[in-house]
Amino acid sequence: MTSNSTNRSFLTRFAWLSIGAAVLTIALKSIAYLLTGSVGLLSDALESIVNLVGALMALAMLTIAARPADEDHTYGHGKAEYFSSGVEGTLILIAAVSIVIAAIPRLITPKPLEQIGLGLGISVAASLVNLIVALILLQASKLYNSITLEANAHHLLTDVWTSVGVLVGVGAVAITGWQRLDPIVAFLVAANIVWSGVRIVRMSALGLMDTALSVEELKKLQQILEPYKESGIEYHALRTRQSGSRQFVSFHVLVPGKWSVQRGHRLLESIEAEIRHTMPNATVFTHLESLNDPASWDDTDLDRPDTMSSTNTKLG
Q: Are residues 86 and 200 in the same domain?
A: yes
pLDDT of 314 reads 47
Find residue 37's DSSP bridge partners: none
Exposed, middle or buried, 21 (CB in 10 Å: 0-12/13-18/19+)?
buried
**CATH code: domain of residue 245:** 3.30.70.1350
How many domains is the chain built from?
2
Which residue range(s) make up the domain with 226? 215-304
The β-bridge partners of 254 are 234, 289
Full-model pTM = 0.63
Instruction: Give CA–CA dist 114/108, Å, rounded.
Output: 19
pLDDT per residue rounded down to tens, the chain (316 residues): 433 445 677 889 999 999 999 899 888 888 877 877 776 667 667 767 877 888 888 888 888 888 888 888 877 777 788 887 788 778 778 777 877 887 787 677 766 655 556 667 777 888 899 899 999 999 998 888 787 888 888 778 877 877 777 677 767 777 777 777 777 777 877 787 787 778 878 878 877 777 888 899 999 999 999 999 888 899 999 999 887 778 899 999 999 999 999 999 999 999 999 999 999 888 999 999 999 988 888 877 777 666 554 455 444 4
pLDDT of residue 304: 66
Residues 262 and 142 in one domain: no
CA distance 215 to 277: 18
What is the enclosing helix (H) or strand (E) of 152? helix 147-176
pLDDT score recorded for residue 172: 75
Q: Can you tell me the distance from the alpha carbon of 228 to that of 164, in angstroms, rounded to the nearest whole number?
A: 54
Residues 253 and 201 grouped into a single domain: no
Mark whether 161 and 243 lie in a shared domain: no
